[in-house]
């Protein structure tokens, strides 16, 4: 009996001893799953970001041609033919007993030439597209407007697309349409608006890192980050102008420039000591310069290593929220 009790105590002691290790193992396993899940989520977001930027850049201009009366005549003719064929098919389907009781679509075939109502609608849509933009002219001057927000551009494009779908023939309408479409294209045109200094610093850090590590892993990491940063920093023109009006400078150029300015302005202290025998010794203290150099190098390396973060930040600013 005593042996049984002793065995149970030993077993209980062993279980209590192993319990913390089991809990630690479970915690480590949960942490591992969390890290894996976070990594997969980041990878998915990264792929979505790259695909979205590629789509936006590949799509190019919203309006890739200049509209003419001949273009709209041909477009209206094809539209009438398509709708006529669709209406005939709908009428045939309506006569089919299988479709008895089903609601058939109502297809309206436009006139060969635009009606007065359609022309008036075109004028109203053009005014709607223009009026939603921001006024940039001064008081008492001719009213000038330009899009300064992406929601304004999207609203204008909806109105302009409706005008295009109406296929107007009047030269006044077509000229105004082309003018507004050109402004939209110019406003959406993208160019690099990131920090060129950050790119050069990253290249230097990558080259030095490759030389010191004798490996291409770190330079490859920086190179891919540079490409991503360059693409993410391609900013639409309306946003570049908006930021210029706000007076916002580039924070990276300011940080890097400030760091090297501190190196350039660092002081060297000269100490001259005269001894009793008439001799003198001179000591130079360059500690301030070396400290400034170390700080500048650390700032440059940190900024270069965070290229993916800066790229994601610029992606959100230039492709999603437009601020």
Q: What are the residue boundaries of the structural domains of the chain, listed by start?
A: 69-188, 192-320
Beta strand 134-135 with 280-285 is unpaired
Report the C-alpha gap between 195 and 84 in whole angstroms.
56
Residue 202 near residue 304 (C-beta atoms within 8 A) = yes
Predicted pLDDT at 304: 92
Based on its alpha-carbon atoms, the radius of gyration of the chain, rounded to whole angstroms, reads 35
3-state secondary structure of 211: helix
Predicted pLDDT at 232: 97
Predicted pLDDT at 21: 54
285: phi then psi, degrees, rounded to nearest 5: -110, 105
* DSSP for residue 225: H
Residue 160 near residue 184 (C-beta atoms within 8 A) = yes
3-state secondary structure of 236: strand
Give pTM, 2 decimals.
Answer: 0.81
Report the C-alpha gap between 12 and 5 in whole angstroms.
11
Predicted pLDDT at 24: 55
Q: How far is CA 116 from CA 49, 67, 80, 125, in A?
A: 46, 20, 18, 14
Predicted pLDDT at 28: 65
Predicted pLDDT at 17: 62
Neighbour tally for 185: CB within 10 Å: 15
Neighbour tally for 313: CB within 10 Å: 14
Rounded average pLDDT per 10-residue block, the chain, 323 residues = 53 55 60 79 88 94 95 95 88 73 76 93 97 90 91 97 96 97 97 93 92 87 93 96 82 79 82 79 85 91 92 95 93
Beta strand 234-236 with 269-274 is unpaired
Helix (H) or strand (E) holding 121: helix 116-131
Predicted pLDDT at 82: 92
User: Terminus-to-terminus CA distance in the chain, angstroms?
Assistant: 80
Predicted pLDDT at 78: 95
Report the C-alpha gap between 288 and 282 in whole angstroms.
18
Q: Kindly state the tokens that stand for 215.
A: 């490996």
Report the C-alpha gap between 90 and 107 in whole angstroms.
9
Report the C-alpha gap between 64 and 181 in whole angstroms.
9
Q: What is the pLDDT of residues 162-185, one digit of tens each?
A: 999 999 999 999 999 999 999 999
Report the C-alpha gap between 33 and 23 in whole angstroms.
15
């Amino acid at each position: 009996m005593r042996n049984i009790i002793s065995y149970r105590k030993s077993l209980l002691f062993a279980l209590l001893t192993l319990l913390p290790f089991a809990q630690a193992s479970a915690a480590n396993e949960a942490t591992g799953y969390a890290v894996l899940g976070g990594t997969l989520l980041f990878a998915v977001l990264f792929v979505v970001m790259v695909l979205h930027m590629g789509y936006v850049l590949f799509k190019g201009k919203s309006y890739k041609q200049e509209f003419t009366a001949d273009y709209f005549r041909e477009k209206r003719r094809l539209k009438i033919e398509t709708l006529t064929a669709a209406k005939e098919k709908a009428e045939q389907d309506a006569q089919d007993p299988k479709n008895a009781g089903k609601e058939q679509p109502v297809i309206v075939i436009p006139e060969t030439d635009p009606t007065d109502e359609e022309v008036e609608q075109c004028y109203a849509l053009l005014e709607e597209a223009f009026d939603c933009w921001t006024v940039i002219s001064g008081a008492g001057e001719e009213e000038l407007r330009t899009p300064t927000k992406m929601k304004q551009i999207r609203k204008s494009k909806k109105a302009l697309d409706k005008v295009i779908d109406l296929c107007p023939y009047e030269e006044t309408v077509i000229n105004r349409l082309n003018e507004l479409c050109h402004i939209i294209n110019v406003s959406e045109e993208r160019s690099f608006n990131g920090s060129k200094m950050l790119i050069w610093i990253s290249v230097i850090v990558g080259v030095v890192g490759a030389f010191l590590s004798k490996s291409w892993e770190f330079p490859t990491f920086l190179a891919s980050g540079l490409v991503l940063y360059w693409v993410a920093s391609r900013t639409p023109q309306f946003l570049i102008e908006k930021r210029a009006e706000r007076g916002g400078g580039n924070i990276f150029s300011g940080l890097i420039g400030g760091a090297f300015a501190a190196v350039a302005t660092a002081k060297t202290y000269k100490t001259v000591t005269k001894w009793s025998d008439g001799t003198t010794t001179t000591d130079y203290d360059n500690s301030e310069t070396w400290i400034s150099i170390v700080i500048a190098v650390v700032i440059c390396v940190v900024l270069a290593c965070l290229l993916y973060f800066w790229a994601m930040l610029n992606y959100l600013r230039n492709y999603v929220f437009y601020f």
